[in-house]
Structure 1
Amino acid sequence: MQTPRLTSRIIRFGWIGLLVFLLTACHQDMYDQQKYTTYEPSSFFTDGRSSRPNVPGAIPYEVIKTDEFLYTGLVDGKEVDAMPFPVTKDLLLRGQLKYNIYCAVCHGEAGYGASMVAERGGIVPANFHQQRLREAPLSHFFVIITNGVYRGDPNNGGYQSMYSYASRITPEDRWAIAAYIRALQLSQNATIDDVPPAERAKLGN
């Protein structure tokens, strides 16, 4: 039968053994990692350098933006009712996809601002079918998606009610969403005269 002193000694040596194992198991691999440090020479490449030159034609992220309208939605500092590229069916489908992912959660699938966020949140999302937004230039929606929305002066008690999606949605997809929002507006404020004659027969009576 083990005595309390013997049991205590076994436990003590067991902890010491575990501590030694933990200290030796991870130290060397983590300390001496298999990687090249900055400017470290390499015998693998013929030029002797471990740091590789950029691929010809590579452009650093967000460094060169030659098309101001594409990236800002502004022409001479003003919003305009235009797109930087043609609006196609594929573009609208892309816009619908991205809208349903990023926008519908607040603004609702039809753009009326009716959503769970609107019901439970303290800020009412914009209704795209109000007259002010129906008359807004198309690039207005791109600008809002890019920069977000501030209520009041952000330096004097104001706050951001919608954050910027610039880091989450590419410029091309932001434009696709803007085009889809305009399509939503037209779909909810159209007359029979707006429907092409070839399509009217499909509507029925």
Structure 2
Amino acid sequence: MRYFFAIYIAVVIAVVAILGFRGDKSEKTPWMIFPDMDNQPRYKPQATNHYFQDRMNDRPKPAGAVIRGQGWEVKETFSADFAEDFSDSTVFYEGKNEDGSWATEFPIDVDNATMELGRQKYDIFCKVCHGAVGNGKGITSKYGVIPANLLQQNYHEMPAGQIFNTITNGKNTMFGYGEKITPEERWAIILYVRALQLSQSASIEDVPADKRKELGL
């Protein structure tokens, strides 16, 4: 029994000693039971390095290196001939009009190429949850996850900009894809979703007369 009390008192002292300093500010290096590689030897940018002939830590990019991310093309950005309409567009980047309302129009070209881009990105990022036709019956639905059924009327009526915001920032159990999908790709996905919605509620009257024969209608 005495060993129990000794261990108990030691645990109490340890807990009080650790938790008692919570919130205190200190410039000392904190104790790290699991450092997880947080503190490693590293070279600071723009510092001196005697290993290289130019004595600089910053190194030039290796020949043939491929840029990562979604950076602007330097040649286009700094060219006097470069011009585009959506750099400052809240619709393109946020899905909102200047007055803060949700955008209803697409800020990109609506054509077959954009539709194909939307289909590709939908299959990669959306199909697993929302299903091939957008009815929410993707593979995750078999494991207790209940994604939104994009064919429901409320999603038909939802402004495109609001859908863009959901893809970007996520909603409920869906996390955002803003870091994985470019703005243009997000708009392309929405265009494809609109096509899925139309395909599930379309009638023969929605098919152009010259296309009905090709479909055997």
TM range (shorter): 0.5 to 0.7
- Three-state SS of the structure 2 residue aligned to 1:96 is helix
Larger radius of gyration: 1
Distance 1:105 1:117 in 2: 6
Contact 1:111 1:184 in 2 (8 A): yes
TM value normalised by structure 1: 0.65
Report the alpha carbon displacement of residue 51 of structure 1 after superposing the two structures with TM: 4.9
Q: 2:111: which partner in 1? A: 88
Give the alignment partner of residue 179 of structure 2, picking from 163, 167, 172: 167
1:204 maps to amino acid: G
Give the alignment partner of residue 46 of structure 2, picking from 29, 38, 51: 38
Report the alpha carbon displacement of residue 148 of structure 1 after superposing the two structures with TM: 0.4
Q: 1:36 to 1:120 in 2, by over 3 A?
A: closer
Q: 1:142: which partner in 2? A: 164
Say if 2:198 is the partner of 1:186.
Answer: yes
Say if 2:189 is the partner of 1:177.
Answer: yes
Report the alpha carbon displacement of residue 52 of structure 1 after superposing the two structures with TM: 8.2
Report the alpha carbon displacement of residue 116 of structure 1 after superposing the two structures with TM: 2.0
Please give the root-mean-square deviation of Cα atoms over the aligned residues, in Å.
2.8
Q: Which has the higher helix share?
A: 1
Q: 1:115 to 1:50 in 2, by over 3 A?
A: closer
1:84 maps to amino acid: P
Q: 1:37 to 1:98 in 2, by over 3 A?
A: closer
Contact 1:111 1:127 in 2 (8 A): yes
Say if 2:100 is the partner of 1:77.
Answer: yes
Give the alignment partner of residue 121 of structure 2, picking from 94, 98, 103: 98
Q: 2:89: which partner in 1? A: 67
Alignment of 1:102-117 (within 5 A): 102-117=125-140
Select between 35-44 and 180-189 the one with higher mean Cα deviation: 35-44
Report the alpha carbon displacement of residue 37 of structure 1 after superposing the two structures with TM: 5.2
Size of the aligned set, in residue pairs, is 153
Q: Stretches of 4+ moved more than 2 A in 1?
A: 39-44, 48-53, 55-58
Distance 2:156 2:107 in 1: 20
Stretches of structure 1 that go unaligned for 5 or more consecutive residues are 1-30, 59-64, 151-160
TM value normalised by structure 2: 0.62
Contact 2:91 2:103 in 1 (8 A): no
Q: 1:116 to 1:52 in 2, by over 3 A?
A: closer
Stretches of structure 2 that go unaligned for 5 or more consecutive residues are 1-40, 61-73, 79-86
Q: 1:19: which partner in 2? A: none
Report the alpha carbon displacement of residue 78 of structure 1 after superposing the two structures with TM: 1.7
